[in-house]
Amino acid sequence: MIESVLEEEVERKKVDWETETEKEVRKEKRRVLGGLKKSLKLVRENFIPRYLKYQHQKELLGDRNSYSKTNPDATFMRMKDDHMKNGQLKPGYNVQMATENQFILFYSVHQRPTDTRSLIPHLEAYRQTNLPMPKRVVADAGYGSEENYRYLIGDSETEPIAEFLIPYNTYLKEKTKGYRNNPYNAKNWDYVEEDDLFICPNGRRVPFKKYMKKKNASGFVQDFKIYECEDCSDCPLKALCTKAKGNRQVHWNPVYEELKETAKKALEDETFKHVYSRRKIEVETVFGNLKSNLAFRQFLLRGLEKVQTEFAILAMAHNLLKVVGLLCRNHLIKRKIKKEGGEKRFIFLHLLHFRDFLDSPFIIYEFTIELASSSITFAVFTTSSATNKCVQFSNGITSEFGICSFM
């Protein structure tokens, strides 16, 4: 290190200065020695602490591009617009959920801002559980990428993970008339398979030039075939075709194009159209319930482990409320249920405002469910805060989560 080099140089200069007898030479050597001592002090008190600080920050950063000083586990992400249509760049976490019939089966919290790079870690964490792997994975276009497609279909060494209904990012755009009729889009050009070349709108040849490999942010390597026009110098359509100073190039990824065709075929299959149409009803409803109905707009705790625990409580509360809703629908179709002896059962909905919680009304749902051999009485207390949900069972025990007790 530079510190040890400077220490050795200071010791050597110090010996030379102490053994020197000539007054003027001794004075000059003392001046040089003082400069070296100042440099050594600067290295010890400034450079080395700053280097250790940067190393610590680099370890906290990991493969991310940012982190919060008050919550190092959080990554700065572009949040949705506020009421003034201003984009918000705030520290946060990316929560991924696996749902079935609007029940949260599994969740994972990620430090990556994009959904594309969160799918594989999410599914890998899911595979570590005792839950059965789904037959088909349904997601939106934010998860469509070559890396994710290849992970789901597997390769020669690994078995396929699951079938997928995931559109790629240009799937809807390719259906538009403007995209299909754009003469400068390479996908609309004529392709000569025998010579492995394209024909541009001006009738010129765009032959294959070379292979190229590109590595994305996650380290995944993509293979491209590069095609380049033979001569664009005097082409009257060059300004409309390309902004490059040289000839027009086409970067073609054969593997990804084949995977996109597979995804497109599955999405347009009449058998699976209704499956994908349920995605917005299935998972978006869950997020809407958590954010709007339960007023969960931000995490209250800091740190990845604590955030995971906080969302676990929220997910259990959501699932419990779903069970309550299903029980109400199945067993208490009407607000009044007549018993065989003429006795009536009621569902009471109370809206209570407590003195210290005027802005957080407590809603109490109380109902009794008659089963074949026993009955269960529930009283669910909810507030606008997601952390104040609890369930009181018929035995009088109140818990944030638990198993129902029979009367």
Banded model confidence at residue 325, pLDDT cuts 50, 70, 90? confident
Ordered DSSP codes for 300-353: SS-SHHHHHHHHHHHHHHHHHHHHHHHHHHHH-SSSEEE-TTS-EEE-EEEEE-
Given this model, what pLDDT does residue 256 score?
Answer: 94
Given this model, what pLDDT does residue 209 score?
Answer: 93
Q: How deeply is 209 buried, as exposed, middle or buried, from its count of CB atoms within 10 A (0-12, 13-18, 19+)?
A: middle
Given this model, what pLDDT does residue 280 score?
Answer: 86
Is the CB of residue 67 less than 8 Å from the CB of residue 75? yes
Q: What is the dihedral of CA 177, 183, 184, 188, to 10 degrees?
A: 80
> Per residue in 38-73, pLDDT tens?
888 898 889 999 999 999 999 998 888 899 999 999
Banded model confidence at residue 81, pLDDT cuts 50, 70, 90? low
> Per residue in 139-172, pLDDT tens?
999 999 999 999 999 876 677 888 999 999 999 9
Least confident of 149-163, 201-215, 292-306, 362-376: 362-376
Given this model, what pLDDT does residue 265 score?
Answer: 93
Is the CB of residue 368 less than 8 Å from the CB of residue 349? no
Given this model, what pLDDT does residue 332 score?
Answer: 60
pLDDT at residue 369 is higher than 70: no
> Per residue in 225-241, pLDDT tens?
999 999 898 899 999 99
Banded model confidence at residue 224, pLDDT cuts 50, 70, 90? very high
* Tokens matching residue 2: 């530079």
pLDDT > 70 fraction of the chain, expressed in percent and rounded: 79
Strand bridging mode 362-370 / 348-352:
antiparallel
The sign of the torsion formed by the CA atoms of 377, 383, 385, 388 equals negative
Q: Which residue has the higher pLDDT, 103 or 86?
A: 103
What mean pLDDT do residues 391-397 have?
36
pLDDT at residue 350 is higher than 50: no
Least confident of 99-113, 274-288, 369-383: 369-383
Q: What is the CA radius of gyration of the chain?
A: 33
pLDDT > 90 fraction of the chain, expressed in percent and rounded: 47
**Angle (nearest 5°) at CA 97 between 95 and 103:** 135
- Our measurement of the distance from residue 134's CA atom to the centroid of its chain's CA atoms, rounded to an integer in Å, reads 20
Distances (CA, A) of 27 to 17, 20, 21, 33: 8, 9, 10, 10
Instruction: Return the top range by mean pLDDT from 50-59, 341-350, 381-390.
Output: 50-59
What 3-state DSSP class applies to 213? Answer: strand
What mean pLDDT do residues 246-261 have?
93
**Rounded Cα distance, 246 and 225, in Å:** 18
Name the nearest CA neighbour of 120 among 97, 150, 148: 148
Ordered DSSP codes for 8-33: HHHHHHHHHHHH---HHHHHHHHHHH
Instruction: Give 168's contacts (C-beta < 8 A, 6+ positions apart).
Output: 141, 144, 145, 260, 263
pLDDT at residue 400 is higher than 60: no
Q: How deeply is 153 buried, as exposed, middle or buried, from its count of CB atoms within 10 A (0-12, 13-18, 19+)?
A: middle
Q: What is the dihedral of CA 238, 239, 243, 245, to 10 degrees?
A: 60
pLDDT at residue 397 is higher than 50: no
Banded model confidence at residue 333, pLDDT cuts 50, 70, 90? low
| Sheet arrangement for strand 249-252 | 190-192, 197-199, 205-215, 221-228, 249-252
